[in-house]
Structure 1
């Protein structure tokens, strides 16, 4: 294993440029939701109003994202991104103006919806560029590229909330929103300017068949996996915070342990070429996540919880990488941006639903009740992954082909 694998990928002409610019924009995206919370609460003094506006932002982002991706698949990143980014900047300015003028909550929520509906999923656009760049003989490098994407995404969502909180606490929350928007606009425009690595536009005949590929069973399983992952994330956010509060401690160290373990696992996973079929890897990792959740049902101290969260955190990045790999294999190129965006939307929907369910479970049974919701989500993810892997293995053997060789 050698980090030269990542260096080799980034030396591919144009790869480092689009990866770094997309990651810059993703840092802004990671800051936006929390930035809205700090901004609205600072101006209104109400967490209820802040939650309402942020909820509208999150729902609109999940619903509108695939529709924007559909336009991008049809007309290309370089043509669609600039007007979308202009609309996003206008929506943020509108929200800032309404907040400063003390507008009613309904108007603030509508502005939050506009902000969410116009924010581009730059991670999906970067993944689509990797898929277009690593085709044919270079397709074996795609898991490593998606592992690199997972690392970039993890770092953004680790640093973004901390950065927007620091800017808001040190000055004015409006500056945090302005910084987040500047990163999104700057990263997005820089990505749009890189025409050489943009996926080529598809013809009418190719687009017609590509839409049907989004209904294939292989892609449906990946949507289900990401929905369950969202349920897991939403339940863990509430449960970890409740566990720390019950013991009079801060929850940040627990999140840090889980995130750092995940970043390490994702980095190591991308360094190796795995000979096990991706479907079987996904089934094994999903089952491992479900098993590693069981200690959380009985942990009683912060060190015990930290150790358990480290093991659960290590399973997440490889699962995300495999989901992207299997999606790229299941969906036609002309619908690939839509497919990656649907995965994000499924995860967001699951997270929103789990936050409400786990909140009730925590109120009734304490933090362990919320951990039970997370464990159930992990089990729900493992079942279809295992069924899909078994089906493909049986089909391969039935056709007279040998099963995949074991890993090294």
Structure 2
């Protein structure tokens, strides 16, 4: 092992990171500082976490409240691009990783650490997301990834490792699912989901109500959008995090935002997961509805192109790259006119836009009407079509010669 004096570990309080603290001390003979990111995973995940880290052998534990910053500076910019990975995934885990990594680096630089550590396995995407951010923000710091070094390969082995050292741990052998939660979403993997022929059971969903058990009466929410950002809900101005929190509550009650997908991981493995993104689904519907009114055909097409490319960059852990930042800037420019109000109906798993308006709308009832109008001369369309199809006409005439 290379000589490390002080390492900052991205700490969750779970089984893996609880074992990593003593493992680092034993194998690197270094001081370990636990860094906890509060990204809205829930109070129950954070209760007693500092004491737990210290009991595992950490010299200190820092908890950073990143909820508002994550929504404002990472989720909202991503929403403007329209990024949806492989057509369905709203990138809940992916958008949280860059802000966690950035805050971890800042902590490491502040305490004078010479190394960073994460508990990601060698099979997943998160190792790339964390280490890609570390490389972009603090390439001078050594990165330690225990799952790629140690010989602990099972939950049983980790529990035995802690028991041998009399380190308390509330984890047990009965854990069935792997979950990740933040203010934007909850993901569930493993268990029955590892067989794609198995339908998800009730344990696969932890946040949203079963749409079949959701209220029989629809509910509507009004969302005010300014320059591509949700600024008020149901007439109340709200911060980004509070708006998301409010819509999460509304959406979860009606079973909004459930998806069951098989996705392509960056490392080449396909994985299946159940994702719940209630408030995010409503926000996405609101922004896209205003775009329909405001963006012209070419601008909307380009925004779609931005969204497709951005979805892969965000998923692949390339947030802190010039290309990703350029796409975010382009989407922000297009969003300058994306201002309006949308009413969305929530009913048994569906978020449906039923009303939309904008002072910047390009929709004109005078031009679009099927009734009689005085603003459009139908005869003008003939010349336009002749010029628009001129290349096809010339090609056909050549083939007839």
Q: TM-score, normalised by structure 2?
A: 0.23
Q: Mark the structure with the bigger radius of gyration.
A: 2
Greater relative contact order (CA < 8 Å, ≥ 6 in sequence): 1
Higher strand share: 2
Q: TM-score, normalised by structure 1?
A: 0.23
